[in-house]
Structure 1
């Protein structure tokens, strides 16, 4: 009986924590526009989704924004399949919008997948957009979101209410009742005897001394000062900082991997675990890597090695990409890019987003590295 109770409660705790995606999700979406890829234009829009989950249904608000050229807030609905982790978020109505003269307003239908890596939770997938005026096709692309503690705007009341409900459920689930063993017979109660009262004696003051009178108590109330809360600074659409374009020249690093790996292996690669995050086969001999901070800017610093050669040394990740351009050849068609965490930033672990562009191919690689483990991206050149 005891084990049944414990297993049930552990299942309840796991179900509440793992299957509920209530909260704030921030990241970006990218429109798979072929012309933007050719011109190396960063087509990423920042994207925030606030979700309250009830059973399998979702209530949501979305924010889409990019510098001062576009901002929109929309109400949304959705659903989740707890068994598969598949999530749908469908925008219903545009609540607020600010746009340029030639900019369309489109609603998005997002098909996402929930995953977890350590303490981080992610929603990744694709979207299809339709024009809000005539329901014509607007485009399609990819979505990447990470669960965050705070909003770039403010937390919606329906999300705050739902989070309080979840906190109460977790508190109740963590209160494990003591099991009762019905086979044991309680011992007979032992009669308690009251101890004999002890005579109290009032101490006499010492000779030739006058007892001191207590100081009179002041009847004036003591003013209490409540601790001042530091106001939260929230972004308005006018304060949103721009996304950097990937053709920013000042951080561009062009390297050629050469014909073979460096003979000497750096200690940060030799003494740490090296985990292959992704293997990419490219047809173009020119590959551009755009490396961003993946989510909140928290002072993550990285070094990048190409075939054991240092190409980026202790650069801080931000919304402005670190750009590494690689020229490949058919002499050696296998190359490794290693991301080394120089620190874990304000919010461990060290996380980054690598956008890979090679001719008409484009990939997004989410990278997590620690002070014990490096992330490796393998490139195989197949030729044109």
Structure 2
């Protein structure tokens, strides 16, 4: 019984450690839009956000940075909890410890409700936040948050992270790759011993014996000449009867056959649109499908998180519409129209590079009438991101 309890405790500790948030997380937060005109001008409230976390079991502590640049920022201490079952994360800013802000305005602290996810080797924290002023606890706004785990800081690495990195260097994990290498060597040696060289000898012997048997059998030259003479005589007798009968009844039918052929030609000659090579050589992953009754979609594309020179190209229905555009805090705009005839569009985002912090990440905001969609996109040099727009007329 004691062994069973120890085993269950070990399993719980493994599940908790598998979701280790210790490290640097960077991205941004965006306040809920209150003014549609500000959105159209691309002047919505978007700020950079960095969190450095030191996790111990299900609890963690750390610091946060809210900033537009590394010159004007606010730094706060934080603490929170992690649910290893649901992967939900609660982060609360406790106290402002450093402030370098331009202009006036009250100081606000945030409470974040996040969801942890992992896609391949990339780790993300995404969710919502609420905030209040430290002076009188009044509402300071709310919005959305997106963070990605990164190796470097825009400021400096906290001492608790530096110490953990030193401990990791002193106590490296045991190498597991040796077992895989030995298995691979065994697999490589097996095909080398399989092919025998003795199979080819009986094949060549049978091939040499067959031709002399066939050559003496072919003796009937006279029969072939007789058949050829008969074949020459037959076409001379057949042409005169059909030539007199065919032209008279077919004079009226010829223009009908020609007119039918002329109608079919323009349908066959329509060439299909060529597919760009970059859409064929990379994997195209469907990220989101948006079904809407709006006939015009206004699309804005930003760099998601820190601006690190990410560059993209955008294809709409396999046609290049944006070429090698650098993502920044200022929106890149695009308009897509939908109707009953053009009720399906496929937008593909291609990463032209991975920026300073791989992979290439972007935030796409789609305004479809009264509805708004946010799509967070990750693309690499092996995989493109696909967003599908479908038109469905309203009631």
Same fold (TM over 0.5): yes
1:66/1:357 Cα in 2 relative to 1: closer, same or farther (>3 Å)?
farther
Structure showing the higher helix proportion among its residues: 2
SS of match in other structure, 1:122: strand
User: What residue number does 1:133 align with?
Assistant: 135
- Superposed counterparts of 1:282-297, under 5 Å: 282-297=292-307
Change (3 A) 1:327 1:69: farther
CA distance in 2, matches of 1:270, 1:350: 19
Contact 2:16 / 2:57 at 8 angstroms: preserved in 1?
Answer: no
Identify the residue that residue 374 of structure 1 maps to in structure 2: 384
Deviates more, 1:16-25 or 1:158-167: 158-167
Cα shift at 1:360? 4.0
| 1:302 matches 2:304 | no
Q: Structure 2 stretches of 5 or more lacking a match?
A: 1-6, 180-271
Q: 2:154, 2:289 → 1: CA distance?
A: 34
Structural mapping, 1:242-321, within 5 Å: 263-321=273-331
Q: Which moved more, 1:61-70 or 1:19-28?
A: 61-70
2:146 alignment counterpart: 144
Of residues 291-300 and 108-117 in structure 1, the stretch that sits farther from structure 2 once superposed is: 291-300
Distance 1:159 1:18 in 2: 18
Separation in 2 of the partners of 1:333 and 1:134? Answer: 52
Which residue of 2 is the match for residue 334 of structure 1? 344
More relative contact order in 1 or in 2 (CA 8 Å, sep 6+)? 1
Residue aligned with 1:34, SS: coil
* Cα distance in 1 for residues equivalent to 2:283 and 2:80: 40
Q: Which runs of 5+ in 1 are unaligned?
A: 1-6, 179-261
Q: What is the aligned residue count?
A: 292
The residue number in structure 2 matching 1:27 is 27
1:124 maps onto 2:134 in alignment: no
CA offsets, 1:212-257, max 9 Å, x none?
A: xxxxxxxxxxxxxxxxxxxxxxxxxxxxxxxxxxxxxxxxxxxxxx
Q: Provide Cα deviations, 1:198-218, integer angstroms capped at 9, x if missing partner.
A: xxxxxxxxxxxxxxxxxxxxx
How far, CA to CA, are the matches of 1:102 and 1:358 in structure 2?
36
Write the distance in 2 (CA, Å) between the matches of 1:109 and 1:356.
27
Match of residue 98 from structure 2? 96
Matched-pair contact (CA < 8 Å) for 2:28–2:306? no
Q: Tell me the secondary structure at the aligned position of residue 151 of structure 1.
A: coil
Kindly indicate whether residue 18 of structure 2 is the aligned counterpart of residue 18 of structure 1. Answer: yes
- Contact preservation (8 Å) 2:122, 2:148: yes
Out of 86, 89, 108, the residue aligned to residue 87 of structure 1 is 89
CA distance in 2, matches of 1:283, 1:131: 40
Change (3 A) 1:163 1:282: farther
Please report the RMSD computed on the Cα atoms of aligned residues, expressed in angstroms.
Answer: 3.3
Answer yes or no: is 1:50 the counterpart of 2:60: no
Change (3 A) 1:150 1:273: closer
Indicate if the aligned counterparts of 1:123 and 1:146 stay in contact, CA closer than 8 A.
yes
